[in-house]
Amino acid sequence: MKFSRNRRRFITRSTLVGFSSAIPSVRKSPRASAASGNVYTRLGLRPIINASGTYTHLGGSLMPPEVIEAMNDAARQYVPIRDLTRAVGERIAALTDSEGALVTTGAAGAIFVGTCACIAGDDPDKMKRLPFTAGMKNEVIVQKLHNTGWTRQCEAAGAQLVEVEYKDQLERAISGRTAMLYFLVADKHFGKYRDQLDAPGGKVSLTEYAAIAKAARIPLLVDAAAELPPPESLSSYTKQGVDLVAFSGGKGLQGPQNAGLLLGRKDLIDIAAMYQSPYSGIGRDLKISKETMIGMLAAVERYLRLDHAAEWNAWKAQVDHMKQVLDKVPGVESGYVPREVTNHVPRLWVKWDEKEFNFSHEDCFKALQEGEPPIVALRTPMGVTLVTWMMTPGEERIVADRLKQILETAHRSAGSRPKRTNAGLASGFGMDNPVDEWDPGGDGLISQYTGKSAD
Domain co-membership, 37 together with 74: no
339 alpha carbon, distance to own chain's centre: 17
Q: Which of 255, 290, 305 is the last residue of a domain?
A: 305
Please indicate, yes or no, whether residues 81 and 192 belong to a single structural domain of this protein.
yes
Question: Is 342:270 a contact under the CB 8 Å cutoff?
Answer: no
What pLDDT shows up at residue 342?
A: 72
Tell whether 145 and 75 lie within a shared domain: yes
- What confidence category does residue 451 fall into, taking pLDDT thresholds of 50, 70 and 90? low
- Report if residue 376 sits inside a domain: yes
pLDDT in tens, 319-362: 999 999 999 999 999 999 877 777 789 999 999 999 999 999 99
Q: pLDDT by residue (tens digit) across 128-179?
A: 999 999 999 999 999 998 998 889 999 999 999 999 999 999 999 999 999 9
Do the domain assignments include residue 234?
Answer: yes
Q: Under a CB-based contact definition with an 8 Å cutoff, are residues 126 and 263 in contact?
A: no
The boundaries of the domain holding residue 380 are: 28-61+307-416
pLDDT over threshold 50, residue 183: yes
Q: What is the chain's mean pLDDT, rounded?
A: 85
Given this model, what pLDDT does residue 4 score? 42
Point out the least confidently predicted range of 21-30, 305-314, 409-418.
Answer: 21-30
pTM: 0.84
Are 218 and 292 contained in the same domain?
yes
β-strand partners of 50: 376
Cβ 63 vs Cβ 27: under 8 Å: no
Average pLDDT over residues 442-453: 60
User: Is the pLDDT assigned to residue 10 strictly greater than 50?
Assistant: no
Q: Please tell me the distance from the alpha carbon of residue 283 to that of residue 275, in angstroms, as a whole number.
A: 5
* Same domain as 163, residue 298: yes
Percent of the chain with pLDDT over 90: 73
pLDDT, position 186: 66
Residue 398, burial from CB neighbour count under 10 angstroms (0-12, 13-18, 19+): middle
Residue 9 has pLDDT above 70, yes or no: no
Q: Are residues 164 and 239 in the same domain?
A: yes
Cα angle 160-164-165, degrees, rounded to a multiple of 5? 155
Do 156 and 283 belong together in one domain? yes
Question: Of 272, 305, 338, which one is at a domain's C-terminal end?
Answer: 305
* 193 and 334 share one domain: no
Dist. CA 427–CA 432, nearest whole Å: 8
| pLDDT of 127 | 97
Q: Residue 6: pLDDT band by 50, 70, 90 thresholds? A: very low
Residue percentage of the chain with pLDDT more than 70: 79
In this structure, what DSSP letter does residue 95 have?
Answer: H
The more confidently predicted of residues 434 and 398 is: 398
Are 275 and 166 in a shared domain?
yes
- How many C-beta atoms surround the C-beta of residue 412 within 10 A? 11
Distance between start and end Cα atoms, the chain: 52
Say which residue, 336 or 450, is predicted with more confidence. 336
Domain tally, the chain:
2
Q: Assess if residue 122 is contained within a domain.
A: yes
**Closest C-alpha to 17, from 352, 252, 248:** 252
Average pLDDT of 182-206? 64
What does the alpha-carbon distance between residue 136 and residue 152 come to, in Å, rounded to a whole number?
A: 19
Can you tell me the mean pLDDT for 291-300? 99
Is there a domain that residue 164 lies in? yes
Residue 149: CATH number of its domain? 3.40.640.10
Cα separation, 149 vs 182, whole angstroms: 13
Q: Is the pLDDT of residue 84 over 60?
A: yes
